[in-house]
Amino acid sequence: MSLLTLKIRAFKFNPACDYNPAYVLYNVGYNPKGRLSEVLENIPNLAYDPVHLGLKINQIAVFENLEIAELIARFGKEWVLEPLSIPYAKQDLLLNEEALLEPYANFFKSTPFLTQEERAELAKYTNINTLTPKEHAGYFGDGFFLYAKWLMERYPHRSLEILGSIADKQHGVMHFVPLKHRIYPKSDALDIEIYSLQQMLLNGSKCPLANNPWAHLGNIAYNFSKPDINKQAPYLLYTAYPQTYNLAPLLASTRLLLQKLHLNFVELPCVFDGGHWGRLADLEKFLTANAYNLALAHKVGGVLLCADEDAYTNATYAKALLDSEPSLLEAVNNNLAAYELSYSQQAQVVFLNDLLAKEILQLEPLTPFKGFSAVWFKESAQEHPALLRWLDLHTHSPLFAKESYAHLLDIDSQMALKESARIRYAGIDLGADFLMVDALSQFHMFDTLAEQGSNAYQRDHDRTSVLFLPQLILLALGERDIKALGLESHKNAVNFL
């Protein structure tokens, strides 16, 4: 046996002779300069498609014949190989392509103008349907949305008709959730393509689709005003969140922790950043709102400090566009002139967690979390290992912890509640003592609406606590003032103090 060995559990299923599938263990030797196909070839009698490669390694989809060394760097030397979709498994890693195409028979009946070659093109997209993490019966499929966009480009005079076919209120494109974390190499190319379809539906005036049920999502209120600046500080704390969110847990603990770290900050009226739909609804308004906040922070002599992951993501996205697109920058600064502000590349933004990872190590934890474990729900891959060692906290970061369904409250509230409860309980069922979140929107689903989510998911409600990083750090520093920690406003009370 080669000294270079992969430990592989491969999904094996042959409907001709197997009643149930099995995961069979193989020790497979490999050449570090070889490719994935060589590993697959060395698994006895494994059925897969060597031409149109597609499989999952440790739950992540791989579509390319990548170098083994690269795959080991990402997945380690223990792999679980599965088909892209177990319900559609034909044999081992092969999918039943005919079954994947069956749901689109009615669509093709409604589009007699398509040629046979154009209909056959859908088969190139259906594998993408298998990537969505949602449990959504009847969902049209992300691959189908990309196929629809391909058709719109071929038939521009029918683009509104095709767009209307995927705007369905129950199963259409507005129910999309990002795929980038479910593919390796990680890429947001598919997400960007589908977001462009959502953007068409949000921009009702630019795309006057008959009976468009989604145009109202583009009506976002931005509260611009001329700022009254009478203080200077190294940080401007962003606080412009939706009124439906419970802000106290995050903002109260953030303020207290910054004070304990002797980090000076100011609070001024910022402009709401547009939320999830902002960048899709009206890009210029979205950029102007984020540029306002960045420019305001720069004017007080500091950087914009975002305690919430979503706000930080929006600000960094806006900054990247403004720093690279002179025409957008000019339009935005024309808008800001009325408020005596101007955006420049010197304006900066920082995420609270990143700041804390640098600053907190100077203090000594009084009550670390030794023996505790948590599931950390966040989009970022940044783990901050030194900070976790400081906390002495064991965290889990499973794939489902990168999922978020808060934005679906505007699309299908029951689905948003049910899917949020699904991932919340997946974390609880790992035996976690509590859950950690980086986004206010996720806290809204896991705490404020947790009981409603339990009902939607049809599970007895569990009151496992949900905490933000600054709350954890303050607890580790010995803080026990419930109000100062923002814990008094939690729906699910912290039960381990």
Residue from 355, 213, 332 nearest 282 by CA: 332
Structure tokens at 132: 């969505």
* pLDDT value of residue 1: 44
Any bridge partners for residue 466, and if so which? 435
Q: Which residue matches tokens 């947790």? A: 450
3-state helix, strand, coil split of the chain in percent (to 5) is: 45, 10, 40
Ranges under pLDDT 50 in the chain: 1
Separation between Cα atoms, residue 38 and residue 400, nearest integer Å: 30
Separation between Cα atoms, residue 326 and residue 344, nearest integer Å: 11
Separation between Cα atoms, residue 127 and residue 144, nearest integer Å: 10
Query: Which residues have CB under 8 Å from 166's CB, separation 6+?
Result: 140, 144, 145, 148, 172, 173, 197
DSSP E strands, 138-213: 183-184
For residues 125 and 147, the answer to whether their CB atoms sit within 8 Å is yes
Angle between helices 450-457 and 413-428 in degrees, nearest 10: 90
Query: Which residues have CB under 8 Å from 161's CB, separation 6+?
Result: none
Residue from 239, 228, 378 nearest 304 by CA: 239
Count of helices and strands (H, E) across the chain: 20, 15
Q: Which helix (H) or strand (E) holds 351?
A: strand 349-351
pLDDT in tens, 220-273: 999 999 999 988 999 999 999 999 999 999 999 999 999 999 999 999 999 999
Separation between Cα atoms, residue 63 and residue 52, nearest integer Å: 8
**Which backbone phi and psi does 341 adopt, to 5 degrees?**
-125, 155
Separation between Cα atoms, residue 353 and residue 426, nearest integer Å: 24
pTM of the model: 0.95
Q: Which helix (H) or strand (E) holds 483?
A: helix 482-485
How do beta strands 22-29 and 5-12 pair? Answer: antiparallel
* pLDDT value of residue 497: 61
Compute the Cα dihedral for 389, 390, 391, 392 and give only its sign: positive
For residues 465 and 490, the answer to whether their CB atoms sit within 8 Å is yes
* pLDDT value of residue 218: 87
Which domains are delineated in the chain? Answer: 5-95 (3.10.20.30), 97-211 (1.10.1060.20), 235-354 (1.20.1050.140), 364-489 (3.40.50.11810)
* pLDDT value of residue 382: 81
Structure tokens at 149: 């966009």
Separation between Cα atoms, residue 447 and residue 491, nearest integer Å: 6
Structure tokens at 251: 């903002």
At residue 260, the 3 state secondary structure works out as: helix
Question: What is the identity of the amino acid at 356?
Answer: L
Separation between Cα atoms, residue 45 and residue 300, nearest integer Å: 67
For residues 454 and 471, the answer to whether their CB atoms sit within 8 Å is no
Q: How many CB atoms lie within 10 A of CB 139?
A: 20
Q: Is 7 left (phi over 0), alpha (psi -120 to 50) or beta?
A: beta
Residue from 269, 152, 280, 273 nearest 204 by CA: 280
How do beta strands 78-82 and 55-57 pair? Answer: antiparallel
CA torsion angle for 353, 358, 362, 367 (degrees, to 10)? 30
Question: What is the identity of the amino acid at 101?
Answer: L
